[in-house]
Amino acid sequence: MRKNIVAGNWKMNKNLQEGIALAKELNEALAADKPNCDVVICTPFIHLASVTPIVDKAVIGVGAENCADKVSGAYTGEVSAEMVASTGAEYVILGHSERRAYYHETVEILEEKVKLALANNLKPIFCIGEVLEEREANKQNEVVAAQLASVFSLSAEDFSKIILAYEPVWAIGTGKTATAEQAQEIHAFIRSLIAEKYGKEVADNTSILYGGSCKPSNAKELFANPDVDGGLIGGAALKVADFKGIIDAFK
């Protein structure tokens, strides 16, 4: 059975002390009121080694927001998948639209990152999605199909370890949200591509998260769709009340 997941992406927010405080507060909130889905927080690299020991692993998974496409070596400023795993983190976000746009991450680079993450027993949360011009030109299906090439080279066994996150780039931090119908339509399309490539069973077991201005006020409607298995949450993940409000959409 595929899992319902709410994952937080802190992005470049919170210094170390603030991050530890946020993780502790979330841990206490979820200890008092157990979630009905898997919960993951993906933090900046500097937080990982401090946050993983203070959260209850049975309730909150911890992940990084990125990793390098190289194993190790003279790559100043980069952080390898092995380094991420050594902190106790279990997840890593790969292919986020901000990485694709600002740091020019290609299908090939992301394919390397995915393979290295899996080799270090990290679970990739792999992001796909179109920008506004592509949506307005009705090209969203071909865009996400092309982006899936980074993970469609995997064996069925390895692909089954991937969590997908569909992000309409035009709805990230803009206050715009895809309607529940738009979200369901493209999630169903993504699942159909997986079924074509790997078969219905793998497709049925793949969690596909929605990322794009998901809030406590719209989470329930979005998550009610049969092919929307949770959310990858940006801004709302930085406040425990908001993040928990989204987690509670599964109650």
Residues 6+ apart with CB under 8 A from 217: none
167 belongs to the catalytic site: yes
The answer to whether 10 is a known ligand-binding residue is yes
Q: CA-CA distance, 198 to 162, in Å (whole number)?
A: 13
Is the pLDDT at 109 greater than 90? The verdict is yes
Q: CA-CA distance, 192 to 198, in Å (whole number)?
A: 10
Over residues 24-45, the pLDDT tens digits come to 999 999 999 999 999 999 999 9
The answer to whether 234 is a known ligand-binding residue is yes
Sign of CA dihedral 132, 133, 136, 142: negative
The answer to whether 213 is a known ligand-binding residue is yes
pTM over 0.85: yes
Sign of CA dihedral 137, 128, 159, 232: negative
Query: Per the residue annotation, which of 96, 98, 130, 134 is the catalytic one?
Result: 96
Domains in the chain: ranges and CATH: 5-250 (3.20.20.70)
Angle at 59 between CA 54 and CA 65, to 5 degrees: 70
96 belongs to the catalytic site: yes
Over residues 73-107, the pLDDT tens digits come to 999 999 999 999 999 999 999 999 999 999 999 99
- The answer to whether 125 touches 94, Cβ cutoff 8 Å, is yes
The answer to whether 9 is a known ligand-binding residue is yes
